[in-house]
Amino acid sequence: DAGVTQSPTHLIKTRGQHVTLRCSPISGHKSVSWYQQVLGQGPQFIFQYYEKEERGRGNFPDRFSARQFPNYSSELNVNALLLGDSALYLCASSFTNTFVGELFFGEGSRLTVL
Amino acid sequence: AQSVTQLGSHVSVSEGALVLLRCNYSSSVPPYLFWYVQYPNQGLQLLLKYTSAATLVKGINGFEAEFKKSETSFHLTKPSAHMSDAAEYFCAVTGGSNTDKLIFGTGTRLQVFP
């Protein structure tokens, strides 16, 4: 079975641009979460979606938005990119919407903002 | 509010030696605690989790962790290090109910020398 897949794996943007990151969860998983991992730090929670509804939001500005589609895939959008947005963006899926279940992480999308 | 503190950003051991990675937590509610491992250029993989059952939790690859409420600790151990254990290790605590929000520590990089 395929794991969590993310695209693109690497991308370079300039300040002020917009970026869309995509995530396909494991088949059967209905929850998708997004995390930002800045170099040298632990992942920081951005969003969680379950059954196409937002179930949690971290301490990120409104430039960050996300959505989940009927097939449970998800997009993370970041507008007006800043240098500080350079990071590895991780998507994780799970069967339920609670922490009791295991989170399965993708390999991430590495964003560089110049 | 929940948080975790990982003591030591880098730990070096010889192959065959004991591995001890430290994690202390702070939580206003009974915590669920996790250890994740991240190999270079990969996503995170769950090693083990504590969910208020047995205080000694066994995980994959020979790792285990003991939940000690009196010390607010959840240290990760492995009796004998292997070269393949070299990776970044993250301790995490749940951020609340009905969400997949995990609060991660800053990570500990484990180096294993032959």
Tell me the shortest Cα–Cα distance from A45 to chain B, in angstroms: 6
B39: pLDDT strictly greater than 80: yes
Check if B86 contacts A (Cβ < 8 Å): no
A5: pLDDT strictly greater than 80: yes
What is the 3-state secondary structure of A15-81? Answer: CCCCEEEEEECCCCCCEEEEEEECCCCCCEEEEEEECCEEEEECCCCCCEEEEECCCCCEEEEECCC
State residue B23's pLDDT score. 97
Check if A55 contacts B (Cβ < 8 Å): yes
Among the residue ranges A64-78, B35-49, B94-108, the one predicted with the least confidence is B94-108
State residue B99's pLDDT score. 59
Mean pLDDT of B5-12: 95
Nearest alpha carbon to residue A100 among B67, B32, B82: B32
B98: pLDDT strictly greater than 60: no
Which two tokens mark A112? 């560089």
Over residues B56-91, the pLDDT tens digits come to 999 999 999 999 989 999 999 999 999 999 999 999
Residue A103: which of B102, B103, B106 has the nearest Cβ?
Answer: B102
Residue A103: which of B46, B95, B106 has the nearest Cβ?
Answer: B46
Best B60, B99, B100 member to test A by mutation, with max A CBs in 10 Å, is B100
Over residues A44-103, the pLDDT tens digits come to 999 999 989 998 899 999 999 999 999 999 999 999 999 999 999 999 998 876 656 678
Check if B99 contacts A (Cβ < 8 Å): yes
**Interchain pair B100, A44: CB under 8 A:** no
